[in-house]
Amino acid sequence: MQYLTNTNIELTAASFHPDGHLFAAGGEDGQIKLFHVKTGENAANFDLGGPVQDLTFSENGIWFAAVAKGSTSITIFDLRKEGKAAEAKVLEIGGQVDSIRWDYTGQYLAASGPGGLTISQYTKSSKSWSDVISLAVPATAVAWGPQASSLISVNSEGVVTVLR
Amino acid sequence: MIQSLTIYRLTKSRKKRPIPKDWATSEVIEKFGVASASEPLYPGSSSIALDEAGQLVIVGGSDGVAGVYSIPDNKLQQSFKAVGAITDSVWYGNQPVVSTSAGTVKVFGEQEATFTSHAGNANALALHPSGEILASVGVDKSFVFYDLPGGKAVTQIYADSGMIKHFRIDHAIPY
């Protein structure tokens, strides 16, 4: 016997805005809700369209990147806009993405999944995106090393890999 | 107060902030390759947290064991036991913090603390840029803010209803 359990909107991802004033929580319902840290009040909502797997703020202060469960694309949202207009960019990665992390300068966005790692670059002067490198290193999570001179990943077996 | 100084540091000229001179260029990054790989440490690992020095990594698996792995030494330094699968981790200074599928948030180290605010899985963690406020989100549709120096859960907010539960009214978050 099956019951309808579509009201389940568990929260699956979390991140603070680099200014420290806003907190973002992503849910199973595809909603990314921003809250004022001080009061806990809802500040804005963004629709990713699928259960939120991961989200990460850019240090530029106006963007955050988010990926839905099982998705092969990353959506960059602009905090200053609403609705569909808030989607600043959709990056096609080519493989499933489980974890995303921006480096401190907001230039590089690392994405990892069962197919491997991809690093994309945003160039501010030309306002353009480019692929820097893709590596066949499957990973469930990634982190940037100091000065973005290394990338640390872990896979589902718990193997920690250093890329540099 | 420290708080206002922190806010100044965090918000100051973000848009015009220059890229640090020693930052990796795309020419460096496009040559990335595998420099080292550990033994399989914890099956079911789904999170990673790197300390500020870029040397120590927190990893943890589905059996609830988390550890600190040293990149320069290529070995596990410490391991910790939690209950339930490790779902996420962050560093609080030099103390590892993990969330678990049993709903707990655990701070290991000299000021050990265990928080049990969530009913059901604690799915993810986030550390405030001040380094002092921790957030967790859960299957119970809520997020919780913790005052780490105070070792206390401060607020629990239900994202769907906006319902707010203050654990300590006298200790509002200063941001």
Please tell me whether residues A77 and A21 are part of one structural domain.
yes
DSSP B24: P
Cβ contact B124:B90 at 8 Å: no
Please tell me whether residues A107 and A65 are part of one structural domain.
no
The kind and range of the H/E element at B72 are: none
In this prediction, residue B7 carries a pLDDT of 53
What total number of domains does chain B contain? Answer: 1
Pairing of strands B133-138, B122-127: antiparallel
Please tell me whether residues A88 and A100 are part of one structural domain.
no
Chain B contact set for A135 (CB, 8 A): 32-34
Q: Is residue B16 part of a domain?
A: no
* Whole-Å CA distances, A1 to A4, A6, A94: 10, 15, 38
- Report the alpha-carbon distance of residue B147 to residue B171 in Å, rounded: 9
CATH at residue B138: 2.130.10.10
- Report the alpha-carbon distance of residue A141 to residue A53 in Å, rounded: 11
Q: Which of residues 99-128 of B touch A (CB under 8 A)?
A: 120-121, 123-128
Chain B contact set for A150 (CB, 8 A): 32, 35, 54
CATH at residue A70: 2.40.128.630
Q: By residue range, what is the domain housing residue A87? A: 1-92
Residue identified by tokens 């369209």 is A49
Domain boundary at A39, A73, A92, which?
A92
Per-residue pLDDT of chain A (164 residues; tens, 9 = 90+): 334 444 568 999 999 999 999 999 999 999 999 999 999 999 999 999 999 999 999 999 999 999 999 999 999 999 999 999 999 999 999 999 999 999 999 999 999 999 999 999 999 999 999 999 999 999 999 999 999 999 999 999 999 999 99
For B74-107, the pLDDT digits (tens) are: 999 999 999 999 999 999 999 999 999 999 999 9
Please tell me whether residues A55 and A78 are part of one structural domain.
yes
Q: Which two structure tokens, joined as six digits, stand for A108?
A: 């590089």
CA distance B109 to chain A (A): 22
**Which of B1, B13, B50 is the best mutation test for A, with the most CBs of A within 10 A?**
B50
Q: By residue range, what is the domain housing residue B70? A: 38-166
Please tell me whether residues A22 and A69 are part of one structural domain.
yes
For A144-161, the pLDDT digits (tens) are: 999 999 999 999 999 999
Domain boundary at A74, A92, A110, which?
A92
Pairing of strands B122-127, B86-92: unpaired
Longest dimension (CA), chain B: 53
- Report the alpha-carbon distance of residue A103 to residue A84 in Å, rounded: 26
Please tell me whether residues A128 and A56 are part of one structural domain.
no
For B106-154, the pLDDT digits (tens) are: 999 988 999 999 999 999 999 999 999 999 999 999 999 999 999 999 9
Q: Which residue of B has its CA nearest to A14?
A: B126
Cβ contact A42:A83 at 8 Å: no
Q: In this complex, do B159 and A158 lie within 8 Å of one another by their Cβ atoms?
A: no
Q: Is residue B151 part of a domain?
A: yes
Q: In this complex, do B143 and A157 lie within 8 Å of one another by their Cβ atoms?
A: no
Residue identified by tokens 């790197």 is B50
What total number of domains does chain A contain? Answer: 2
Domain boundary at A92, A127, A144, which?
A92
Any B CB within 8 A of A18 CB: yes
- Report the alpha-carbon distance of residue B97 to residue B95 in Å, rounded: 6
Choose among A72, A62, A68, A136: nearest CA to A102: A62
Q: Is residue B86 part of a domain?
A: yes
Q: Is residue B5 part of a domain?
A: no
